[in-house]
Amino acid sequence: MASPISIASLTKTYPGGSVPALKAVSLDVAPGTFLVLLGPSGSGKTTLLRCLAGIERIDSGSVGIGGRIAADGRAHVPPEQRDLSMVFQDYALWPHLTALDNVAFALRRRRLGRAECRARAALMLERVGLADFARRYPNELSGGQQQRVALARALIADTGLILCDEPLSNLDADLRERMRVEISSLVREAGATTVYITHDQAEAFALADHIGVLEEGVLVQAGTPEEVYNHPATPFVARFTGLAGELRVRVTAHGGDGTLEVVAADGAAGRLPALRPAGAAPGSAAAAPGPDGADEGRTLRPGDGAVLAIRPTGVFLAHAEADERHLSGRVADVAFRGRGYEYAIDLPGLGRLTGVFARHRANRGDEVGLRLDPEGCHLFPADIAPSADTASPTVPALTA
């Protein structure tokens, strides 16, 4: 039966470390949810997973699994008593055991007979397509096969919680895509609650029911993939989930329906569309969220400096002369992507936008016009987006 997870004010500092790896993280996960924890290296996602597993002890706060307290700063339920399973980044298959024995090991806690364990392990291996590889040792399996054995080991004991520690990071791009689909379907078939960590935002959006974004030990946003993508709580979340670029802008006036009129900071660009501040729902006040993603964000007013975070889905190459042009620039680079072209556009005095999609071809050096879609643009107060001084994205942008 799937286990709910309840994490409250979890704080963890490693011995000898001066900076907490996790700072007061709170999170509730409904049973059967596929939660993806997303964040860059050092953001604390692996620590959070290991605290859930019981491999790491927490300093304060509490972790509840399946309605029972697993750790609360004083008590610590050891990993073997938490009734969970885990897929490790390097798979951690015991090299002296066959694939079958590796999988069967996870059933020992169910106190079944040896023959029963092996029979079930064989069935599980068949389910992951490795029936013919049961007697092979890990070193005799390919990376993808090892990954599947690790997955079978995690699934076989039918635990309420499955933890996955970047299980696809060691695979090549093609295999990663195939294994992603397998993990998604097999884990959902099992019905367990799953916590999966990755630093790959495409993988996160593809797998998750819910996403939690971590930055320097703080859970800055949690929500559905759509919420996180369409309404990033902070500039960091916007950058980490894929931007074409950022522009420094200035608020000039209030528009209708909670929107704001903005112009590029240097005033050189054309007229930008009316934009809604990030986190503000249509019709609400023009308030932007604070750095922790909380609702107490302050209001943007005319005259304020702001940062416009532009998703790849929020900017297009103007095709016809009739198209409205919000910005103009020069093609710095063009890449053919099969269904169209992806451009890097230099905006004079404003920086560069990348991942700008168009179906038609323009050549390097061509002057082009750009059209912004307000739905793909997020406006943040300049003082909570300190690093947004260029139009370069922090991570590779999601393609449109």
Partner 1 sequence: MIARVTPGGATPRDPPAHGGAARPPIPPWGRRGASRFSPVGLGRLAARLGMPVFWLILLAFIVLPCACFLLLAISPRLFDQGSQWFTLTYLRQSLTGSTAVAIVNSLWVSSAAAVIGLAVGFPVAWLAARTTMPGRRWVSGGMWLALLLPSWLPALGWERLVEQDGVMYRLGLNWPWATHLIMGPFGVVLLLGLRCVPFSYLAISAALNGLGQEFEDAARVHGASRWQALRLIVPILAPAIMSALAIGFAESISDFGVAATLAYNSNFTLATYALYAAIGNFPPSFPLAAGMSWLLVAAVAVPLFLQARALRGRSYAILSGRTRQAVRRRLTRFEAVAAGSGLALFFLIMLGIPAFGAVSGSLLGDYGSSYTLTLVNYQALFEQSGLIGPLERSLLYGLIAATVTVFLGFIAARLLSSARRTKSTGVMDYVLLASVALPGVVFGAGYIFAYNLPIMSTLHIDLYQTVQLLIIAYIASSLPTNARVLVGSVSQIQGSLRDAARAHGAGAVSAWARGVLPVLSRPIMMAWLYTFCGVFLELPLSQLLYAPGSPPASIAIEDNLSNYHFGVGMAQAVLAVFIAFSVVAIVLGGYRLLAPAGWRRIGGTVRG
In the list 41, 139, 256, 363, the residue contacting partner 1 (rule: CB under 8 A) is: 139
Residue 80 CB, nearest distance to partner 1 (Å)? 5
Q: Which stretch binds partner 1 (CB under 8 A): 93-101, 172-180, 313-321, 373-381?
A: 93-101
Residue 154 CB, nearest distance to partner 1 (Å)? 8
Cβ proximity to partner 1: between 117 and 353 the closer is 117
Q: Which stretch binds partner 1 (CB under 8 A): 77-85, 290-298, 319-327, 376-384?
A: 77-85
Residue 245 burial (CB count, 10 A): 27
Residue 212 CB, nearest distance to partner 1 (Å)? 20
Alpha-carbon Rg for the chain, nearest whole angstrom, is 24
Using CB under 8 A as the binding rule, whether residue 331 contacts partner 1 is answered as: no
The residue count for the chain: 400
Strands (E), the chain: 5-12, 22-29, 34-38, 60-65, 68-71, 84-87, 161-165, 193-198, 210-215, 218-223, 245-254, 260-264, 305-310, 315-317, 327-336, 341-347, 351-358, 367-372, 377-381
Using CB under 8 A as the binding rule, whether residue 79 contacts partner 1 is answered as: yes
Using CB under 8 A as the binding rule, whether residue 42 contacts partner 1 is answered as: no
Cβ proximity to partner 1: between 2 and 164 the closer is 164
Per rule CB under 8 A, count of chain residues that contact partner 1: 31
Using CB under 8 A as the binding rule, whether residue 95 contacts partner 1 is answered as: yes
Cβ proximity to partner 1: between 124 and 249 the closer is 124
Q: Which stretch binds partner 1 (CB under 8 A): 100-108, 238-246, 254-262, 313-321?
A: 100-108
Using CB under 8 A as the binding rule, whether residue 86 contacts partner 1 is answered as: yes
Contact criterion met (CB below 8 Å) for 279 and 211 = no
User: Helix H segments across the chain?
Assistant: 45-53, 99-105, 114-127, 143-156, 173-190, 201-207, 225-230, 235-240
Q: What sign has the CA pseudo-torsion 86, 239, 27, 185? A: negative
Show Cβ contacts of residue 23 under 8 Å, excluding neighbours closer than 6 positions: 11, 216, 217, 218
Q: Tokens for 101?
A: 């024995």
Using CB under 8 A as the binding rule, whether residue 137 contacts partner 1 is answered as: yes
Cβ proximity to partner 1: between 103 and 345 the closer is 103
Residue 292 DSSP code: T
Q: Tokens for 144?
A: 């993808």
x/- track of binding to partner 1 for residues 103-132 (CB under 8 A)? --xx-xx-----------------------
Q: Tokens for 150?
A: 């690790």
Residue 57 CB, nearest distance to partner 1 (Å)? 10
List the Cα angle 79/214/245 in 5-degree steps. Answer: 150
Using CB under 8 A as the binding rule, whether residue 96 contacts partner 1 is answered as: yes
Burial 76-90 (b: 16+ CB within 10 A, else e): ebebeebbbbbbeee
In the list 9, 13, 33, 89, the residue contacting partner 1 (rule: CB under 8 A) is: 89
Q: Which stretch binds partner 1 (CB under 8 A): 92-100, 123-131, 346-354, 389-397?
A: 92-100
Using CB under 8 A as the binding rule, whether residue 186 contacts partner 1 is answered as: no
The residue type at 373: D
Burial 266-287 (b: 16+ CB within 10 A, else e): eeebeebebbbbbbbeeeeebb
Residue keyed to tokens 């096969």: 145
Residue 157 CB, nearest distance to partner 1 (Å)? 7
Which of the residues 333 through 352 are near partner 1 (CB under 8 A)?
A: none
Using CB under 8 A, list all residues that contact partner 1.
50, 53-55, 78-80, 82, 84-86, 88-90, 92-96, 105-106, 108-109, 137-140, 153, 157, 163, 170
